[in-house]
Structure formats: structure tokens, C-alpha cells
Amino acid sequence: MKVLVRRHNLLLTLITMALMTKAYANSTAELKVIGKIVPSSCNVTLGNTGASDLGKIDIDKHRSASILAPIPLTINCDGQRQVAFQLRDNREAYRVDGLPIKLGGNESVTTSSKHFGLKGNNDKKAGAWAVNYTNLHVDGQTAETLSAADATSLSLGAQSKGDRSSGIYNGFWYSWATPGSLTAAVGKVFTSDLVISTAILPEQDNELNVDGSATIVIRYL
């Protein structure tokens, strides 16, 4: 009888140890944090499909620079963002330096870095155009402009005077800011008007087809 009892007790002990081992095996669990981080993106649209058409104009009347109808620029983001844009001249080889281009009022631009090239007949220079950057808003609120050669160092400069500018520099970065602020505004909808002004070289006497082009580049700040 003693032997049987000992064997029975041994069996109970083994069962207990097995249960304890199982309990320890399930005493830890892994907590995971998973997901996908996707930055909000922005779309750029230009009114009138981005085209500023001079139409058919008498050359004598056009030698003094013409100011064309504004082209609305809209940047729509699917989340709160800080953005900047630049204009890159696609016809820089045809740029004419020193040609006065009227921006509005009594102001004119002669700075070559604010001139964009106009290609004419026979692959020759025809003149230049400039861009005024006005009527800035962020999510419907009035804004001012920030400008800098480097998008990482945008600061409030001479460009910012209410809702007008003195011409966009080719390759500079421009952004929106709350009035009085030195920091790019955060928003979802950024709008402004791009006003194109053109000037034709005075020696153009024959019928002339002109071609100017610039690419708008967006950067997330």
C-alpha cells in the first residue's frame, strides 16, 4: 500500500509541474503598434488651364508692356500643411535683360531675374514677361507672402506689401503667411492671383508668334 501511495503522489506532482510550466509559457504577450504613415498631399490648379493668351494685338500698341487678366492659382491639400511654390522658366534661354515690364500702377520691372523668356519666330528672342503675385488667402483668410531663394529659409521680405508684390523672381520660393508673421501659414487651401505682364522687343516689325512657359513647383515645408 505504501508503494502505491508513493506512485500516486508522484503522479500528482508531475501533473502539477506540467500545469505550472504551461502557466509560465503563457505569461507574456506581444503588444504591437502597426499602421502606415502617409503625408497629406496637395494638388495645384491654375485658372484658364494656366494659359495667358495675348490674342491678336497690333505690334505698335504692344511695344508698351501689356498687363493680362489674372490667372487664379489654387493649392488644395487633403490635410493641414505648410507649402511653398516657385516658378521655373522653361524659356530662360530667350530671356531679354533690362526690358521694362509694367506690373501695374507706375511700377515696372527691369531686373533680369524677374524676367521670363519669350520665344519668337525662327527660334529668336521676342521679349519677356513678368508675374505679379497678389490677392493671397489661406483657407479664405487674407495672407501676406514670404519669399526666399531657399525654401528652408523663407522670411518676410520686400515682396510683402498687403496683397501685392513687386514681381516674382525666377527660381525663388514663395509662401503664404498670416499678416505680420514670419512663419509660413498652415492651411488646406492656398490661393492667389498670378498677373502676367509682357513686353515685346522694339525691333519686332513683322507678324510674331510668342511662346512663354514656366513650371510651377510645389514644396512641402
Q: Return the pLDDT at 121.
A: 84
Half-sphere exposure of 11 (CA within 13 A, CB side): 6
Q: Please report the pLDDT score of residue 192 as a whole number.
A: 94
Backbone angles phi, psi at 84, to 5 degrees: -140, 160
Cβ pair 171, 64 in contact under 8 A? no
Grid cell 516657385 is found at: 86
Longest dimension (CA), the chain: 129
Q: Give the per-residue pLDDT at 24.
A: 54
Q: Which residues of the chain have pLDDT under 50?
A: 1-17, 19, 158-164
| Residues in CB range of 53: below 8 A, 6 or more apart | 68
Per CATH, which fold does 42-220 belong to? Immunoglobulin-like (2.60.40)
Q: Are 30 and 211 in contact (CB under 8 A)?
A: no
pLDDT value at residue 202: 74
- Give the Å distances, CA to CA, from 124 to 58, 132, 209: 20, 25, 11
Query: Are the C-beta atoms of residues 168 and 114 closer than 8 Å to each other?
Result: yes
User: CA torsion sign, 88 to 57 to 74 to 36?
Assistant: negative
C-alpha span between 104 and 106 (Å, rounded) = 6
Q: What is the pLDDT of residue 53?
A: 54
Q: What is the pLDDT of residue 175?
A: 92
Identify the three-state secondary structure at position 24. helix
Q: What pLDDT sits at residue 5?
A: 40
What whole-number distance in Å separates Cα of residue 210 and Cα of residue 54? 9
